Structure 1
Amino acid sequence: PPAAAQVEGAAPSSGQGAPAGLDVATARVVDLTHPITPGMPLFPGNKPYALETLSTVEKDAYYSNRFAMDEHAGTHVDAPAHFRVGAATVEQMAPEQLVGAAAVVDVTAKVAESPDYQLTVDDLRGWEARHGALGARHIVLVRTGWGARWSDPAKYLNQDAKGVMHYPGVSVEASRYLRDRGVRGLGIDTLSTDPGPSETFEQHKAFLGDGGYHIENLANLEQLPEAGAVVVVAPLPLGRGSGAPARVLALVPASGGPAR
C-alpha cells in the first residue's frame, strides 16, 4: 500500500512536542472553533454577528447570505498589527507560523481557585519538564476550562457589580518567556489573553508587539493531549486586518489521549 501522508517538523528529539510523523489518514481531528452566532459572547464594544439572506433555493435556485462581524469576535486571531504600528496585518502572516506542534498547558485547577489567574513562567517550565523545550514551531494553547462557559455570555464575561470582567489570562512574564523561546502563536479558551481586569493590555503589547500572534476564544482544548497534536490556524486573510475570525483544527495521533 502507499505510504501514509505525514506532517513534518515535529520530532521529539528537537523538542518540538509532536511525533516525527503524523499519520493524517488515522489522526483524530478536533475542532477548536466555536460556531459563529448572533448570541455568542463578545468583548465589550463589539457588535453582534449579523446575517442577511440574499437568495434562497426556493426563489432563486441557490442559497446565499451577506454577513457582518467584528475582526475580534468569536474564535479569532490577533495579528501583530493589533498592537504595533507597522507590524504584520493578518493577511501578511506567514503560513508556516499558522501550523505547528500544539503545547497544551493546563491551568484549570489554578483557575478554579482564582478566576483572575495568569499563566506563569513556572507553568511553562512545568510543561517543558514533561515534554521538552518549547520552540519556534510550537503553538502554545492555554487550557483554563473557561470555554465551558461559552453558552452563557454573562458567565463568560463574568463582570462584577462595577462592570469589571474576571477571567484568566497570560502574564507578561510568561509572554516574554515564550517569545524568548521563539514561540509565535499563543492561544487561550477565554475572551482575551490579558486577564479580565486588565485595562491596559500589557500582555498584548508584550507578545504582539514582539511579533507574536494570539488565538482567542478557543474551544474543546480538553480533547487534546498536552503534547503530540498538530494545530492548524486558518484566519480569514483580510486585507489590512488587525485580526480575523479563524477556523482552528487540531490533528491528534490515533494513540493520543485527552490532556492530562
Structure 2
Amino acid sequence: MNRMSLKKLALPLTLLLGGCTPAAGRLSLADTMAGARIVDISHPLTEGMPVYPGGTPLSATVMGTVEKDGYYIRKFTVGEHTGTHVDAPAHFAAGAKTVDQLPVESLAGPAAVVDVSAKAAQNADYEVTVEDIEAWERQHGPLGPQHLVLIRTGWASRWPDEERYRNADASGVMHYPGVSLAASQLLNTRQVRAIGIDTLSTDPGPSKTFEQHRHFLGGGGYHIENLADLSALPAWGAYVVVQPVSVQGGSGSPARVLAFIPQENR
C-alpha cells in the first residue's frame, strides 16, 4: 500500500483502535469523533414509503396520547426489508447468520463509495462492473475485510416517489441499477463486510433470480439497501456505523446508518 493509502487509513484505524487518552501526536477516539461531521444516510420509516413488491409497508396506530393518557405511544408493523435496511446472510442462505447474529464489529468500518451515478443516469439497468471496483482501487488503494462498499447510483433522488423509485415498465418489470454478479464475486474475494446501495435492491431491477444476493449473502457478507443520498460522502475517508434492530432470527431489519466524515474530507 502506498503512503497516501496509509495516510487515508489513519482515521478508520484511529476510530477502531484509538484510546481514550490522547498520546503525543495522536488524536484520541473521542477527539476524532467529536471533530467529524455526522451524516444520516438512511431514510426515516414513513407510511407510504417505497417498498419492494410484496413487502410490508409501515403501519402505525396511536395507542395513547398525552392529552388523554398522560403519554404518547404507538404500535407499528413493518417488514424486515422495509426502508433503509440490512439483509442478513440468512435472507438467501439457509442456516446462515440472522441479523441478530451479525458480529457487532462488522456493523462499522471505513466506507468505500463507488460513484456510478453518471452511468446510471444513462442506463437505468446499469450493473456495477469489475472495472468500476478496480478503478476505485487504483485511485484509493485495495479493498479489504474492514471495508463497507457503498454504491452511489443517484437513485435516492427519486425517494419517496414509489412509482419513480421502482421505475416499472408497462409489463411490470422494474428498472433501477444494481451490482453485477462478477463485481459481487470480486468484492467477496476482497472479503468486504457489506455492500450498500441507494436502490431497492443490490440486484438490478429486472433481476428475477437474485444471483448477486445469493452469491454475496451466501459468502457471509450482508447488504444495506435503500440508502439515502450519498453525495455528501467522499470516495474515501468516511467511517460508517450501521444500526439494524437486533431481531432474533431476523432475515434483516430496518436500520439507521450514520457516516462520520473527518474535517479533512469535508
With normalisation by structure 1, the TM-score equals 0.92
User: 1:20: how far off?
Assistant: 4.3
Matches within 5 A, 1:55-134: 55-134=64-143
Whether the 8 Å contact between 2:133 and 2:183 is mirrored in structure 1 is yes
| C-alpha distance in 1 between matches for 2:5 and 2:33 | 18
| C-alpha distance in 2 between matches for 1:164 and 1:19 | 40
Distance 1:82 1:15, change over 3 A: farther
Whether the 8 Å contact between 1:17 and 1:132 is mirrored in structure 2 is no
Corresponding residue SS for 2:76? strand
What corresponds to 2:240 in structure 1? 231
| C-alpha distance in 2 between matches for 1:243 and 1:20 | 28
Name structure 2 gaps, 5 residues minimum.
Answer: 16-31
| C-alpha distance in 1 between matches for 2:8 and 2:203 | 27
Letter in 2 for 1:70: G
Alignment deviations for residues 26-84 of structure 1 (CA, whole Å, 9 cap, x no partner) = 10000011111111111001122100111111111111111100000100000000001
Letter in 2 for 1:216: E
Letter in 1 for 2:135: G
Whether the 8 Å contact between 1:15 and 1:132 is mirrored in structure 2 is no
Match of 1:13 among 6, 16, 25: 6
Q: Does 1:50 align with 2:59?
A: yes
Match of 1:182 among 164, 182, 191: 191
Name structure 1 gaps, 5 residues minimum.
Answer: 1-10
Alignment deviations for residues 178-217 of structure 1 (CA, whole Å, 9 cap, x no partner) = 1101112110000000000000100000100110100000
Alignment deviations for residues 112-160 of structure 1 (CA, whole Å, 9 cap, x no partner) = 1100000011101111111100000000000000000012110000000
| C-alpha distance in 2 between matches for 1:95 and 1:141 | 19
Q: Does 1:246 align with 2:255?
A: yes
What corresponds to 1:198 in structure 2? 207
| C-alpha distance in 2 between matches for 1:231 and 1:241 | 22
Q: How many residues align?
A: 247
Letter in 2 for 1:13: L
**Ranges of 4+ aligned residues in structure 1 off by more than 6 Å:** none
| C-alpha distance in 1 between matches for 2:180 and 2:222 | 15
With normalisation by structure 2, the TM-score equals 0.90
Name the one with the larger helix percent: 2
User: 1:220: how far off?
Assistant: 2.1
What corresponds to 2:171 in structure 1? 162
